[in-house]
Structure 1
Amino acid sequence: MTRRTVRIAMNGVTGRMGYRQHLLRSVLAIREQGGVDLGGGEVLWPEPVLVGRRDHALKEIAERHGLTEWSTDLDAVLADDTIDVYFDAQVTSARVEALKKAIDAGKHIYTEKPTATDLEGALQLARLARTAGIKHGVVQDKIFLPGLLKLKRLIDGGFFGEILSVRGEFGYWVFEGDWQDAQRPSWNYRSEDGGGIAVDMFPHWEYVLHELFGRVLSVQAHITTHIPRRWDEQGKPYAATADDAAYGIFELDGGAVAQINSSWAVRVNRDELVEFQVDGVHGSAVAGLRNCRVQHRSATPKPVWNPDLPVTESFRDQWQEVPDNTEFDNGFKAQWELFLRHVVLDEPYQWDLLAGARGVQLAELGLRSSAEGRRFDVPELTL
């Protein structure tokens, strides 16, 4: 097999998401499988160059995984003509400047979301990338999850008939940090550092809804901070200036309505940390990260409301599990492979910086809706 190497500057791999999902379970996993088979006896081989602010942390990660290249000098890395792709998993507030530098250096772009802190910044990045003629992609991992892939299979097969509504529940209790360590970084709860669940999760909901059910036409949201005081990584208290819960109603192209609750101040009483219930005329489904259950109209029972009698049936047992019928790869890794094939083979790829800008737009309008107590239309974006 002939090896075709793509060198990737990976910025932000000392963070939880950048390390676990993008380096360990995506790029390194691709190397462990022998690369990406391009056909014709050729494989694509990703070569990561680790970038960050803490030299000792980068060195430790590199040595742990047998890597040889890391740097705290982003400018020098981008000036290296052998670097093909720049990947960004930094905190949101640092992302725009780094992406602009990478675009100016002529590197292809792959980035976490949100791509910017506001819509104008996100659109500017998309315009700059188009002008530069580079390839660009935005991580939209949820649509590559097994549960949502099964859901898409149901949609494509006509299982639902007319889709009426989508209801999503996402979140879990993030400890405040005083008597138990918080399982999310403190910057997530400071708006001045780009934190907030709306700017984090509304971009996810935009592409999930857009890809599976139709473009979001309008948004009405209530966004709030339930826990106003938290403790940081050093055990010091701080004011949580960013929102930790967002409740949104989205009108979709085609007439369906989606309601999605996102919260870091909710205790989980569901099978998975995120679940979507889709109700259609011909059937319903509940999809999570991995699993999907269905109830067809021919098998739908006829409950009768009677608060004077105890429930004698298990409603959950009346649903049928959707089989895998295939082997599902890690969602982040699957999208990495598609983007790298896009870079080297020019295969079609739709999840670009304009798609990323739609997510920023929805978060921005959601926050505005909550602040003003109004419903807002979501204009279609063009460059």
Structure 2
Amino acid sequence: MAIRPIGIIMNGVTGRMGHRQHLVRSILAIREQGGLVLPDGTVVRPEPVLVGRNADRVRALAEQHGIEQWTTDLDKALADPANEIYFDAQLTQVREPAIRAAIAAGKHIYTEKPTAESVDAALELSRLARAAGVRNGVVQDKLFLPGLRKLKRLVESGFFGRILSVRGEFGYWVFEGDWQSAQRPSWNYRAEDGGGMVLDMFPHWQYVLEQTFAPITSVYAHTATHIPERRDEAGRPYPATADDAAYGVFELEGGIVAQINSSWAVRVDRDELVEFQVDGTEGSAVAGLRNCRFQHRAGTPKPVWNPDLPATEPFRGQWQQVPDNEEFDNGFKAQWEQFLAHVVADAPFPYDLLAGAKGVQLAELAQESARTGRRLPIPPLAH
């Protein structure tokens, strides 16, 4: 078998998501399985090059995982022709200039989202990549979750009939950092550092709704900062200037109405940290991270509202589980493999920088909606 090494500059993987999901569970996992085998028998072997601003942290991460190449000099990494792909998991506010530099260096681009702080900047990145002829992709990991893949299977089978509505609940309690340490970094709650629920999660909801159901035609959003003060990693109090909760109503093509509540100030009373309920004329389903249960119209109970008597219907017991019927790999790893095949073998890859710009557009319009109290249409994006 022909071995095809490919250097991947990984910038920002000292952070939690970049480290756990992209480095350990994706790139290193692909290496540990012997590489990615393409249909023609070629084995693609990723060669990660770790890049970060803190030399001690990057060195420690490289030593922890036995990675030989690391640097704090991005320009040096970009100048090496062996490095063909640039991956970015940095803070949003420093992502755009780094991607610009990588495009100018002729590297293929794979990046976390949001791709930029404004839709104009996100569109410019897409245009630059297209003009440079480099392949480009944006992480859309939620599409690869087992629960949402099962839900997509139901949609494609026509199970729902005409889809009427989608209701999503996402979130959990993020501790304030006083009597228990916070599970998320403090910058997430500072608007000046690019934090906020809308900017973080609405790009996800954009591709989940569009790829699973239909394109979004309008958005109405209400945001809140429920916890006004938190403590940072050193235990120092700081004002929370970013929204920690967002409540959105989205209209989709075909008359579908979607409602998604997102909050870091909510306690979980559901089976998984995110769940979507889809109701249609022929049936309904509830999908989470891993599981998806459904109820056909023929098995739908006929409850009657009576507040004077306890409920007698075992409502949850009347749903069925969608079977796995296949093995589900880590979602981040699965998308990395698709992108590597896209770069090396020209395999299809629809999740490009233009798709990423749509997520930034939705977040930007949702923030405007929250400021003005208006429902806003989603105009098409010109490449």
TM range, normalised to the smaller chain? Answer: over 0.9
State the shift of 1:123 in Å.
Answer: 0.6
- The code of the aligned residue for 1:307 comes to P
The correspondence of residues 99-248 of structure 1 with structure 2, limited to 5 A, is 99-248=99-248
The correspondence of residues 286-325 of structure 1 with structure 2, limited to 5 A, is 286-325=286-325
Q: Structure 1, residues 256-286: CA drift from partner, whole Å, max 9, x if none? A: 0000000000000000000000000000000
Instruction: Assess if the C-alpha contact under 8 Å between 2:303 and 2:313 holds in 1.
Output: no
State the shift of 1:342 in Å.
Answer: 0.4
State the alpha-carbon separation in 2 of the partners of residues 308 and 192 from structure 1.
52
State the alpha-carbon separation in 1 of the partners of residues 40 and 304 from structure 2.
62
State the alpha-carbon separation in 1 of the partners of residues 105 and 5 from structure 2.
19
Partner of 1:28: 28
Partner of 2:90: 90
Q: Structure 1, residues 109-152: CA drift from partner, whole Å, max 9, x if none? A: 00000000111110111111111110000000001000000000
Partner of 1:338: 338
Partner of 2:273: 273
Identity rate, percent: 69
- The code of the aligned residue for 1:242 comes to A
State the alpha-carbon separation in 2 of the partners of residues 17 and 27 from structure 1.
13
State the alpha-carbon separation in 1 of the partners of residues 349 and 379 from structure 2.
23
Partner of 1:358: 358
State the shift of 1:63 in Å.
Answer: 1.5
Q: Structure 1, residues 339-375: CA drift from partner, whole Å, max 9, x if none? A: 0100011111110000000000000000000100100
State the alpha-carbon separation in 2 of the partners of residues 255 and 276 from structure 1.
18
User: SS of 1:125's equivalent?
Assistant: helix
Q: Structure 1, residues 152-177: CA drift from partner, whole Å, max 9, x if none? A: 00011110000000000000000000
Instruction: Assess if the C-alpha contact under 8 Å between 2:93 and 2:117 holds in 1.
Output: yes
State the shift of 1:40 in Å.
Answer: 3.0
**With structure 1 as the length reference, what TM-score do the two structures score?**
0.99
State the alpha-carbon separation in 2 of the partners of residues 373 and 154 from structure 1.
35
State the shift of 1:88 in Å.
Answer: 0.1
State the shift of 1:41 in Å.
Answer: 2.9
Q: Structure 1, residues 30-58: CA drift from partner, whole Å, max 9, x if none? A: 11111111133321111100000111211
State the shift of 1:313 in Å.
Answer: 2.6
Instruction: Assess if the C-alpha contact under 8 Å between 2:51 and 2:70 holds in 1.
Output: yes
State the shift of 1:60 in Å.
Answer: 1.5
Q: Which runs of 5+ in 2 are unaligned?
A: none
Segment drifting more, 275-284 vs 74-83: 74-83
State the alpha-carbon separation in 1 of the partners of residues 39 and 299 from structure 2.
45
State the alpha-carbon separation in 2 of the partners of residues 42 and 245 from structure 1.
46
User: SS of 2:177's equivalent?
Assistant: coil
After superposition, the CA RMSD in angstroms is 0.7
Partner of 1:9: 9
**With structure 2 as the length reference, what TM-score do the two structures score?**
0.99
State the shift of 1:66 in Å.
Answer: 1.4
Partner of 1:375: 375
State the alpha-carbon separation in 2 of the partners of residues 356 and 180 from structure 1.
35
State the alpha-carbon separation in 2 of the partners of residues 39 and 31 from structure 1.
18
Does 2:261 correspond to 1:261?
Answer: yes
User: SS of 2:83's equivalent?
Assistant: coil
- Provide runs of 4+ in structure 1 moved above 2 Å: none
Q: Which runs of 5+ in 1 are unaligned?
A: none
State the alpha-carbon separation in 1 of the partners of residues 16 and 221 from structure 2.
29
User: SS of 1:134's equivalent?
Assistant: coil
Does 2:46 correspond to 1:43?
Answer: no
State the alpha-carbon separation in 2 of the partners of residues 242 and 103 from structure 1.
31
User: SS of 2:38's equivalent?
Assistant: strand
User: SS of 1:47's equivalent?
Assistant: strand
Q: Structure 1, residues 263-314: CA drift from partner, whole Å, max 9, x if none? A: 0000000000000000000000000000000000000000010000011232
State the alpha-carbon separation in 1 of the partners of residues 60 and 123 from structure 2.
37
State the alpha-carbon separation in 1 of the partners of residues 160 and 267 from structure 2.
30
